Amino acid sequence: MSTPAEQLQGLRLENGWVVGGPIPRTGAQTGGHFSCSYGVTNVDGTCAFLKAMDYTAALSAPDPATALNELTSAFLFEREVLEECADRRMSRIVRAIDGGRASAGGSTVEYLIFEEAKGGDIRKYLDCAPQFDLVWTLTCLHNICVGVRQLNGASIAHQDLKPSNVLHFPGEGQKLADLGRAWHKSRFSPHDALLFAGDWGYAPPELLYRYASPDESDRRFGADFYLVGSMVLFLFSGLRASEMLILALSPEHQPSAYRGTYEEVLPYLHHAFCVNLEEIGGWFPDAGLGKEVVDVVSQMCDPNLSTRGDRSHTAKFGSRFSLERFISRFDRLRMAAMLGRIRHP
Amino acid sequence: MSASVQEKDRHVFPRWRSFKATSRLGELALPAVELEVDTSELDVSLAKGVAGWKGDPSLWRGLDLLGTAVVAGRLQDFAALVAEIRDNPLAPIFARNVLGRTLAAELDKAPLSDCDGISNVGARQEIRASRVRLASAPRDAIEWTELARAYTIAGLNDKASKAIAAALHLSPSNRFVLRSAARFFLHCGEKERALALLGKAPTIKHDPWILASEIAIADSLGKASRHSRLAREKVGMDIAPSELTELASALGSLEAESGNHRNARRFLRQALVGANENSIAQIGWLNRSRLGEWVDASKANPPLLHEANAWNSFYKGEFEAARQESLCWFRDQPFASAPAALGSYILADIFWDYKGAKELAQAGLRSNPDDLTLLNNLAVCLMELDELTEAEAALSRVKAEGRGAKIDSTYKATFGMLAFRKGDHVEGRRLYLEAIEGAKNSGSKQNAARAAFHLVFEEIVAQSGYVEDSIRRLREFEGIEGFKEWPRFFERVNALMRAGVESGLG
């Protein structure tokens, strides 16, 4: 039997939104992810994306009270963070353009409506692209850096940056979606107690080896910084940073097998990382571009959290996980690519 | 005398191989402290990836899924998808190569070969490659250790010392770094330093590999390890036998040293379970030198079992196998003097391949420039190749003073050979006869027999009137236990006689 959140199709909501067909779930319903998605259209023809909280589904969780509490907290947290993003005019964060409550199945369903990314996520764009486009790639990386910088500047760590959360808006570029797993330095979220709230398949090595830095800001912003680096690798190679690192490790040192501490395994991680950097450098026929990418990845994806960060950062100013210099760098590289000064492949 | 072979006292010192080989041998698997691991979050992530890919089995979703599979340690479940992406021309070439390699690795289950070893020439290339890597990644302790190993193989111990210091500074408690550093200090003759390093290692109380090396080094210094009680407790713990093999072997050696053979055998039998080649070589040596009743290690066949095989074959008189195994042993441990010494002896004295023996001795001398056995063997080969000046130069580096009687007799015989080759037969004969007597007096009948044979060779080559005398002297050594070179030496006598007759000089 379907839950109220699954019965919104065809409803006319406040502010003139009409709920269209459901968007099939592409992931398993787990943890705090109790939501249903729909396409919606406004009377003025605006298409958008609706995310409805599925409280009834939460009731069937093993611990319904906790699940319900978490879901409510998560919804409120996400809504507040989205409001803050909107207030701060974060141009590279997908905007929540509306929200409210609807009656369905004898119950009230809370929802948020987001601007619609007609291009889908970047994987869809890449699947349709006839060939590798260096200018597009560098533009995308620039936009990702700007998005994360905008969040980090508001003391928010995205925590779940991955290809499916980078949406492509034709004509506008890319924006970051899904702040449901974010961390806010001065707001409580139900995920605060978790070592890592994002997708563990993308988690940085220190977290894969269960190391919790005593400095929570370092842990959260360090993870975001790593995830940006991971996107750099993914867009150029189809491989993510942790994947490359693990493939360069011997089986006994891989996180799924290793039973020791992060400190103990770190020399092996560092060695594998260095071997990878050497290999990545060899990927690029354009040595200049290769050098740039290796340098970016070496700073962003360093498996050692304590040495990860902008190498030119000085203790006096800002955070070592600041993306300012990388934004300028990708901008400069994009211009160079547009002028044909760098090429790939 | 000719080339020399001496099996020295042996201890379970840590081996020093490349990081890749050490890792493949499983010697870096056990952490000092074991933690509980919960992989449920990764299972969730993978389930989401699978569901997403099933809903839209596109290329980039597939790549995304494989990323999660790798992180979750489940790539083997997605071999078909890996193959699909590897063969998809639209997939990024890097992903195709890297993921394709994982398929190749799955298929390639070939045992670790001795090819991992690097030659002196290879060492120079390794040095260059390591330095390039370190220029961009100076905090890589493993790479510093690799660089140190390459420097050691090339005989550049000062530079190796600096590289080891850098590695220890960066990773003072890492097993690979610590054991490599200890082996380096042993190579440089700094046993006390090696002992202090391991004895103070933060992980010694938890790590049986560090503990085993510390006990072996203390034993070699004639000292009792501060950790021997802990070691005895450790071998009784519920730890994988392969992680304890060197520790049990080190404790077995201690017991054998103190004459407690029953306890020694007990530990050595434990070391046999999950044994590595170092433990087997130690058991073989203890069998030959200490234990009355042998511990049967013949069924053990761990990778790179070259040292044990080389000595076993040598003592059985299976010289072709001994030759091959000693060369493999040298490739595996290119900075160690023992494999070069055994190999050069076999090549020179058994196979009369003086050029090959000379090259091997020279290769061993690069890392061990003061090794007397290697200098001796080199000098012998040079004399056989009529390079007398070079042979004299090599022998001038041999400082026999203050050495044991066995060693003295070996070098005395070699000086005798030099005298013969320079035409001073009387002096040569005197030195040989002194060497034979010296060896007999020190209880080494085999060395005496070797010297006696070589005196025969020299008398024949010199066409002296003492050939028959020297041959008669050999009767004294007939039937010496374990002297398997006898038939080959006799063949050489016959060959030299034939050559003399054919040239009309005999």
Which of B374, B379, B414 shows the shortest CA–CA distance to B393? Answer: B379
Higher-pLDDT residue of A71 and B468 is B468
**Contact A243/B66, CB-based, under 8 Å?**
yes
Cβ(A93)–Cβ(A179) under 8 Å?
A: yes
Amino acid at A241: A
CA B22 to chain centre: 13
Exposure b/e, A169-183, CB count within 10 A at least 16 = b: eeeebbbbbbbbbbb
- Among the residue ranges A310-324, B27-41, B122-136, the one predicted with the least confidence is B27-41
pLDDT (tens digit, 9 = 90+) per residue, B415-449?
999 999 999 999 999 999 999 999 999 888 888 99
Q: Which residues of B360-389 are buried (b: 16+ CB within 10 A; e: fewer)?
A: bbbbbbbbbeebbbbbbbbbbbbbbeebee
pLDDT tens digits, one per residue of A144-193:
999 999 999 999 999 999 999 999 999 999 999 999 999 999 999 888 98
Reply yes or no: is the peptide bond before residue A345 cis, omega within 30 of 0. Answer: yes
Tens digits of per-residue pLDDT, B221-279? Answer: 999 999 999 999 999 999 999 999 999 999 999 999 999 999 999 999 999 999 999 99
Interface test with B, best of A122, A137, A200 (most B CBs within 10 A): A200
pLDDT at B400 over 70: no
Tokens of A54: 């599925």
pLDDT-above-70 percentage for chain A: 97
All residues at 6 or more sequence positions from B105 whose CB lies less than 8 Å from its CB, including other chains? none
Q: Do B45 and A201 touch (CB under 8 A)?
A: yes
Is the pLDDT confidence value at B502 over 80?
A: no
Closest-CA residue of chain B to A129:
B90
Among B70, B72, B142, select the one facing A271 at the smallest CB separation.
Answer: B142
The β-bridge relationship of strands A47-53 and A107-115 is antiparallel
Asked whether the whole model's pTM tops 0.90, one would answer no
Q: Is the Cβ of A278 closer than 8 Å to some Cβ of chain B?
A: yes
| Crossing angle (nearest 10°) for helices B405-421 and B425-441 | 160
User: In the A/B pair of chains, how many CB contacts fall below 8 A?
Assistant: 186
Closest-CA distance of chain B to residue A303, Å: 12
Cα–Cα distances in angstroms (integers) from residue B119 to residues A230, B21, B122, B125, B329, in the given order: 38, 15, 5, 10, 12
Predicted confidence at residue A28, as pLDDT, reads 38
Average pLDDT on B450-468 reads 94
A28 touches chain B (CB under 8 A): yes
Q: How distant is the Cα of A96 from the closest Cα of chain B, in angstroms?
A: 24
B382: number of CA atoms within 13 Å, CB side? 20
Q: Do B102 and A27 touch (CB under 8 A)?
A: no
Residue of B nearest to A132 (CA): B92
Is pLDDT at B2 greater than 60 in this prediction? no
DSSP per residue, B155-207: T-HHHHHHHHHHHHHH-TT-HHHHHHHHHHHHHTT-HHHHHHHHHT-TTTTT-
Q: What is the rounded distance in angstroms from the CA atom of residue A102 to the CA atom of residue A108?
A: 6
- How many alpha carbons lie under 13 Å from residue A28 in its C-beta half-sphere? 14
Assigned token pair, A298: 């070496």
The identity of residue A79, as a single letter, is: R
Are A307 and B59 in contact (CB < 8 Å)? no
**Nearest chain A alpha carbon to B37:** A259
Contact call for A259 and B19, based on CB within 8 A: no
Phi, psi values for residue B424, rounded to 5°: -95, 80
Probe site for chain A from B58, B71, B84, B131 (most A CB atoms < 10 A): B71
The pLDDT value recorded for residue B347 is 96
Residue A133 has pLDDT above 80, yes or no: yes
> CB A239 to CB B52 under 8 A?
no
pLDDT of A233 above 70: yes
pLDDT the model gives residue B114: 45
Q: Are A174 and A167 in contact (CB under 8 A)?
A: yes
pLDDT-based confidence at residue B120 (cuts at 50, 70, 90)? low
Residue B364 host element (H or E): helix B354-367
The pLDDT of residue B399: 59
- Closest CB to A261: pick one of B20, B35, B102: B35
pLDDT of residue A30: 36
Q: Decide if B143 and A271 are in contact by the 8 Å CB cutoff.
A: yes
Cross-strand partners of B89: none
CA distance A262 to B1: 57
- The share of chain B scoring above pLDDT 70, in percent, equals 92
3-class DSSP state of B398: coil
First vs last C-alpha separation in chain A: 52
Structure confidence at residue B504 (pLDDT): 58
Percent of chain A's residues with pLDDT above 90: 69
* Three-class DSSP category at B273: coil
pLDDT higher than 60, residue B117: no
| A207 to chain B, closest Cα gap in Å | 11
From chain A, the residues in CB contact with B82 under 8 A are: none
Range name among A72-76, A311-315, B10-14 with the lowest pLDDT average: A311-315
3-state secondary structure chain A: CCCHHHHCCCCECHHHCEEEEEECCCCCCCCCCCEEEEEEECCCCCEEEEEEECHHHHHCCCCHHHHHHHHHHHHHHHHHHHHHHHHCCCCCECCEEEEEEEEECCEEEEEEEEECCCCCEHHHHHHHCCCCCHHHHHHHHHHHHHHHHHHHHCCEECCCCCHHHEEEECCCEEEECCCCCCEECCCCCCCCCCCCCCCHHHCCHHHHCCCCCCCHHHHHHHHHHHHHHHHHHHHHHCCCHHHHHHHCCCHHHCCCCCCCCHHHHHHHHHHHHHHHHHHHHHHCCCHHHHHHHHHHHHHHCCCCCCCCCCCCCCCCCCCCCCCHHHHHHHHHHHHHHHCCCCCCC
Which residues in chain A are contacts of B37 at CB distance < 8 A? 210, 256, 258-259
Residue A29 — pLDDT band, cuts 50, 70, 90?
A: very low
Contact assignment for B71 to A238 by CB distance below 8 Å = no
Q: Which residue among B70, B140, B142 sits closest to A247, beta carbon to beta carbon?
A: B70
3-state class (DSSP) for residue B352:
coil
Rounded distance, CA A301 to CA A230, Å?
7
Assess A303–B contact: CB distance below 8 Å, yes or no. no
Phi, psi at B482, each rounded to 5°: 80, 5
Give the range among A98-107, B75-84, B229-238 with minimum mean pLDDT: A98-107
Give the rounded percent of residues in chain B with a pLDDT score beyond 90. Answer: 74
Distances (CA, A) of B122 to A274, B15, B128, B159, B161: 21, 19, 10, 17, 20
Q: Is the pLDDT of residue B8 over 80?
A: no
Contact B419, B384 (CB under 8 A): no
pLDDT of residue B306: 96
Q: Is the pLDDT of residue A31 over 80?
A: no
Cβ–Cβ below 8 Å for A243 and B67: yes
Mean confidence (pLDDT) of chain B: 90
Residues 6 or more apart in contact with residue A141 via CB below 8 angstroms? A231, A232, A235, A330
Which candidate from A26, A253, A260 shows the least CB-CB separation from B52?
A: A26
What is the C-alpha separation between A142 and B417, in angstroms, rounded? 78
Instruction: Please report the residues numbered 76 through 105 in chain A whose beta carbons come closer than 8 angstroms to any beta carbon of chain B.
Output: none
Q: Is A295 in the B-facing interface, judged by CB distances under 8 Å?
A: no
Residue B406 reports pLDDT greater than 60: no
For residue B39, list chain A residues with Cβ-Cβ distance below 8 A: 256
Cβ atoms of A251 and B110 within 8 Å: the answer is no
User: Which pair of structure tokens corresponds to residue B171?
Assistant: 């990773």
**Range with the poorest average pLDDT among A212-221, A261-270, A316-325, B376-385:** A316-325
pLDDT at B217 over 90: yes
Tracing tokens 């304590």 back to the chain, one arrives at: A306
ipTM: 0.93
Q: What does the alpha-carbon distance between residue A132 and residue A130 come to, in Å, rounded to a whole number?
A: 7
- Does the pLDDT of residue A318 top 90, yes or no? no
Pairwise CA distance, residues B146 & B437, whole Å: 47
Query: Rounded distance, CA B110 to CA B131, Å?
Result: 30
Cβ-Cβ contacts under 8 Å, A30 against chain B: 44, 47-48
* Min Cα separation B168/chain A (Å): 11
Q: Which residues of A touch B144 (CB under 8 A)?
A: none
**Residue from the list A30, A239, A258 with its beta carbon closest to the beta carbon of B67:** A239
Find residues 101-120 of chain A whose CB sits inside 8 Å of chain B.
none
Residue pointed to by tokens 């029953």 = B262
CB A276 within 8 A of CB A229: no
Q: Is the predicted pLDDT of residue B32 greater than 70, yes or no? A: no
Chain Cα centroid distance, residue A218: 17
**Segment among A85-99, B355-369, B389-403 with least mean pLDDT:** B389-403
List the structure tokens of B349. 């004295």
Give the lowest-confidence range in A15-29, A158-172, B138-152, B201-215: A15-29
